């Protein structure tokens, strides 16, 4: 599969690994990246030889979330309104697409996973997290909330009080803290 911002690897036994591959920028998710994520999910869905999908990141980050430098590019907005980066008619939301995949999805979180990067991890079946990982929703720091259903997803997974702490406080937690509250399935050596 030909991807621009990501690498596609597959094994003979049907394991596909998609690696976010803009390590110098902490693997941000762009509008084009959303299309690539959806294309990768669709390819795994449609091909019976693929049995497992793994997402990970190159370098020191899983994904630092939305590419805020490009918020204005490719968005539809009214004069005076903030752009709605992830509410684009031409790019369906990847989260329901990922959650409806009837094959196991693993987020191999190798480092920073925040914002939209954490949303992708939360939509995965398992979050295997490096001991160096840091996770959270910093959107509150810029007056936003998680854009792809992260608020309701994290409430279902962690409970209302802990979820509010994370997404309203903009708190970033360590791998061990993430595991203690149920944000990570397992913590492993880097």
Q: Which of 78, 119, 131, 176 is catalytic?
A: 119
Inter-residue contact 14 to 52 (CB < 8 Å): yes
Neighbours of 95 (CB within 10 A): 20
Q: Which residues contact 78 (CB under 8 A, 6 or more apart)?
A: none
Instruction: Choose the catalytic residue: 139, 165, 171, 176.
Output: 139
HSE-CB of 91 using CA atoms within 13 angstroms: 22
To the query of whether residue 119 is one of the catalytic residues in this protein, the response is yes
Helix residue ranges per DSSP H, the chain: 31-46, 94-99, 116-123, 150-158, 160-169, 175-181
Indicate the SS3 state at residue 79.
coil
Q: Which among 40, 119, 135, 45 has a CA at the least distance from the CA of 85?
A: 119
Q: Could you confirm whether 73 is annotated as catalytic?
A: no
Residue written as tokens 């959650």? 99
Cβ-contact 187, 176 below 8 angstroms: yes
Cβ proximity of 40 and 54 under 8 Å: no
Q: How far is the C-alpha of 1 from the C-alpha of 79, rounded, in Å?
A: 38
What's the token pair of residue 131?
């001991």
Catalytic residues: 119, 139
């Amino acid at each position: 599969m030909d991807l621009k911002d990501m690498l596609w690897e597959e094994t003979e036994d049907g394991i596909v690994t998609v690696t976010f591959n803009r390590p110098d920028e902490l693997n941000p998710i762009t509008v084009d990246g959303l299309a690539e994520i959806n294309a990768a999910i669709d390819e795994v869905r449609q091909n019976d030889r693929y049995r497992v999908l793994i997402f990970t990141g190159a370098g020191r980050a899983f994904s630092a979330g939305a590419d805020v430098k490009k918020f204005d590019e490719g968005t539809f907005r009214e004069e005076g309104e903030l752009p709605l980066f992830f509410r684009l008619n031409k790019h369906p939301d990847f989260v329901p697409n990922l959650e409806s995949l009837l094959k196991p999805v693993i987020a191999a979180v190798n480092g920073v996973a925040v914002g939209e990067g954490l949303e992708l991890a939360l939509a995965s079946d398992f979050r295997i997290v490096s001991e160096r990982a840091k996770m959270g929703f910093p959107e509150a720091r810029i007056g936003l909330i998680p854009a792809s259903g992260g608020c309701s997803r994290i409430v279902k997974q962690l409970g209302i009080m802990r979820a509010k702490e994370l997404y309203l406080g903009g708190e970033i937690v360590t791998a061990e803290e993430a595991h203690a509250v149920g944000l990570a399935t397992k913590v492993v050596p880097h």
